Structure 1
Amino acid sequence: MEFRVLGSIGIIDGTRFTAIQGARQCTLLALLLLNAGHPVTKDQFFEELWEDETALARPANALQAQVARLRKVLRAELGDEFVSRRLITRPSSYVLDVDPLDVDVHRFASLTGRARVLTGRDPEVARGLLKQALELWQGPALQGVTGGPICQSARAQLEEDRLRAVEDRIQLDIVTDGHAQAVGELRKLAFLAPWREKLFEWLMVCLYRLGRQAEAVQTYNQLRARLVEEFGMEPSPSVKKCLLAILNQDPVLGGVERHGAARTPVRTSA
């Protein structure tokens, strides 16, 4: 039995997925899963489940009612023994006592952490771990959750972690498969996240190393036009430095990739 946070909140039993219904029930379970094995205080639940706790006539009773509903859902899916042993009530908190690695978000963190340790000495294994980690994502994190600052912060951090894992995997793809294989995905990611200028740097360098210098310069111009139009800002000094290196055919960028040549990670600046 496993739990999903990276997508719709729910329970995975083999190949069967059961989504939790209701925004407050999703938020309640999400908070417990994000803190698997650790207590979540009642004050934290109040902050996430209700914008204004003081508007509730009996806040403690309202929270107990939500927990009772969640117990009913979990009992239907996991049985009485699981609920009685694992969903623990304490005087000022609740704990969902499950193995963190049975929750996709914690397994994602474990896989990406192991991958980064292995990147330097075994890039193939590291790439495989990152692929496994990214396959856990079945949609935006905490989908269906409308919680307060804790959930909002967690959602933003998880998306940042996902993009970083994608970037790390692309770097390893370049080492293993060459620059040509990375160009398509870099174009897509750069379009979706223009504020992550590092993606544009990598795309520019990949195109340059493939002998497509004009496209590399065009990529810079597209980035600049979009940043100016949408954000009212110029590209970062790092991206400008990358453009200058391309225009000057700076040896620091490496030579044009030849079929069968050794591949190196994209490094655009110190």
Structure 2
Amino acid sequence: MNIKQYLDSTYLKTAQQANLTEMENTKVVQHFIQEAIDEDFKLIMIRPDHVKLANDMILKHKSKVLIGTVIDFPNGNSDLEPKLQQAQTAINDHADELDFVINYEAFKNGEITLIKTEIIACAKLALSNKKNIKFIIEVAALSNHQIIQICALIKNTIIANFKEENFANIFVKSSTGFYTTINNLPNGATLETIILMLENSNPLPVKAAGGVRNIDDALTMIQLGVKRIGTSVAKTIADGHVSNENY
């Protein structure tokens, strides 16, 4: 097994969040992109405004690294039309995969029709452009019961509206890595939440994002059935070391 082909190397901080200038932050992004190219990771996950940069670098090196980006990140509470517009821009800039933050607060408020409409429209846009799509459910914002419910809702909505041949291209993803928890509780993937996601998202694939910091954790997730792992320490994991980073 090639662990690198499960890793989505991730850098999603803005310059302000990283306490850097825009130029300094762009250099960090370039480092992550170059590292993904050099290490042959599955994908580089970056913010939409850096997709063109990634595409230029990947083309220059004739690399097979995929480009992923986040949509309506990190809160997922925009109206549908801005989500779709942002996604279309990313598609035009040659993103390969689109990770939509689902409107999990609307889901918690019982706005199920809104969530279904969002799922269908976003998936149609992605699939019609031959892109993978991932729905980020933000597990740290949900109870275990809500994780089960939202995974089942995504799964059932996809099954009812799309062909089986598309299922492998539609992921359920655990976390943004930016959710603020109380008492320093985990804000990313845990074994408990991933097991719930796997049990209730099947046949849709699952991506574990956040909280996977070493090779043993990564292998455990893969053995459980996870198809992708989102992490800001992909090289550390691939090299068999341990990181103290949160994502």
Taking structure 2 as the reference length, the TM-score comes to 0.28
Greater per-residue strand proportion: 2
| Greater Rg over alpha carbons, structure | 1
Given the two structures, how large is their TM-score scaled by the length of structure 1? 0.26
